[in-house]
Amino acid sequence: MDKLEVKKRAELWLSPDFDEETRSRVKELFDNDKELTESFYKDLEFGTGGLRGIMGVGTNRMNRYTVGMATQGLANYLKKQFPSTSLSAAIAYDCRNNSPFFAEIVANVFSANGIKVYLFSSLRPTPELSFAVRHFQCNTGVMITASHNPKEYNGYKAYWNDGGQVTAPHDVNIIEEVNKIKSVKEVNFEANPELIVSIGEEVDKIYLEKLKSLSISPEVIEKHNDIKIVYTPLHGAGVKLAPEFLNSLGFRNIIHVPEQDVNDGNFPTVVSPNPEESSALTLALKKAQDENADLVMATDPDADRVGIAVRNDEGELQLLNGNQTAAILTYYCLENLSRQKKLKGNEYIVRTVVTTHLLTTMAKHYGVEIFDVLTGFKYIAEIIRENEGKKTFICGGEESYGFLVGDFVRDKDAIISCGMIAEVAAWAKENGKSLYDLLLDIYSQFGLHEEKLLSITKKGKEGLEEIKEMMKNYRNNPPQKIAGSKIVTIVDYLTKQQTDTLTGITTPVNQHQSDVLQFFTQDGTVVSVRPSGTEPKIKFYFELRSDMENKAEYKTILKQLNNKYQTIINELRLF
């Protein structure tokens, strides 16, 4: 879009349809061509997961008007999808700047359209919003959050009546309705207060009781309830419910990081509130060192993901990645349900296609079915919905630190994850081990899997074009070998085809369409490439494997796999 067209779009926001503050800020942008372009060169896209963007004025920003238009489009779709039905929606929000304001806008627009609203009175975790949708039998739900994005961002996650984020066909149909809203004049902002119901602690109580029922070994917790656990919400929504849930399970030694218990959308104590990044856990690790704690847990701003640190064989605190945490939790569930003879043959687990295949190996060992889905927890929720009443969901996870146990919630849940991680720690202690020991036991039994994630940021309009070109090149000119091992299979989720490179035979892939490429080699290495759906990044996922006969081999084999990773990075010319 050229500068003239951008200015024409911006000038529309100077009309009386927009409030005075908005008009004033738009006028200021006319003195900054770059910012004006970034704010107006396109509409903030309502994607398959909702909205996410930088806050500010403009069509490409999160603000009162873009949120209102999205909500009006969603309301219009609900009326078409559920005719002659009394509609209802649940709304929650996290600690981000403007989150309460955006939640109020959503509530106002829904109620103005005759939709009853259950609005949380203060910030809550994303998984509790998922739970509330099901609890109140709502038609939809909206969570105001940008997860772990920088402080400039906010977002809008849309949920369906099963408590999961919207999937096909509703996702594309909602997008179509949202795109039909061409003017803020089409948005009904006038709230109907009689249709807005405030909810809070009464829902917390029910939610936590449901989660508590998922505990597998409560007697073990009772014996080891003094485990020292440092917990931090990273300024976010987990501040109340995560410690409360741990206490309800019986853990008595929860240590806080006071500076990070403060809800603050500016995230003053961290560069990024992302538990995937080691720097986010700096204060918690220091606290754990000072207190000689056994375990560290940190949840992201909307408390749907958790990062952990455990004591290694030298007594040092060591961060685990999302794949390792998922492996430990999955192993604990499968091993103990098997010991308790609770596996009846109709159980299953779920992993995303970029999550460790270690889960696949474990599922096969315990005779439990496993489903592979695209990246995004909404696809795990979709599998749960499709199998409801026919099969029993045990757990599911993704490499990006999201995990779920049980089906009360239909999104990743850091609250139940914190509780289960602590329970596994107690179980390991009962068996004379640490969580680190348990991880090495898993590697010894099922093979060492070392996973790496490399994200390359490409900001702005030019960055998006560059990412598209990179994906095009990988499709048209795929590598023949990776670290000396021949590529035997290429899976392209955009064309939904799997190619056997040895025979040239292609077979269809039974998944939703997505811009994801995977390369599988003869020696078991897997490299996956995908643009991020929520950030201006292209992501590379690496999985390297090796047999490991005993714990003593761990560090030697790990070093070999890390050297192999560096070889792959150099071959793909990522730096």
Q: Which of 203, 204, 288, 209 is nearest to 238 (CA)?
A: 204
Residues 6+ apart with CB under 8 A from 575: 569
3-state helix, strand, coil in the chain (%, to 5): 40, 20, 35
Q: How far apart are CA 425 and CA 431, in angstroms?
A: 10
If 0-12 CB within 10 Å is exposed, 13-18 middle and 19+ buried, where does residue 312 land?
middle
Q: How far apart are CA 140 and CA 164, in angstroms?
A: 9
Q: Which of 206, 214, 218, 131 is nearest to 406 (CA)?
A: 214
Catalytic residue among 39, 130, 147, 514: 147
Q: How far apart are CA 408 and CA 419, in angstroms?
A: 15
If residue 387 lies in a helix (H) or strand (E), which one and from where to where?
helix 377-387
If residue 450 lies in a helix (H) or strand (E), which one and from where to where?
strand 448-457
514 is catalytic: no
Calculate the alpha carbon distances from 49 to 167, 175, 257, 525 in Å: 8, 10, 32, 30
Q: How far apart are CA 534 and CA 377, in angstroms?
A: 13
Residue with tokens 């078409």: 80
If 0-12 CB within 10 Å is exposed, 13-18 middle and 19+ buried, where does residue 99 land?
buried
Write out the two tokens for 47. Answer: 């994607």
Residues 6+ apart with CB under 8 A from 543: 356, 357, 449, 450, 451, 525, 526, 527
Which runs of consecutive H residues, i.e. helices, occur in 113-228? 126-135, 170-180, 201-212, 218-223
Q: Which of 513, 517, 542 is nearest to 527 (CA)?
A: 542
Write out the two tokens for 373. Answer: 């889905």
Backbone angles phi, psi at 226, to 5 degrees: -100, 10
Active site residues: 147
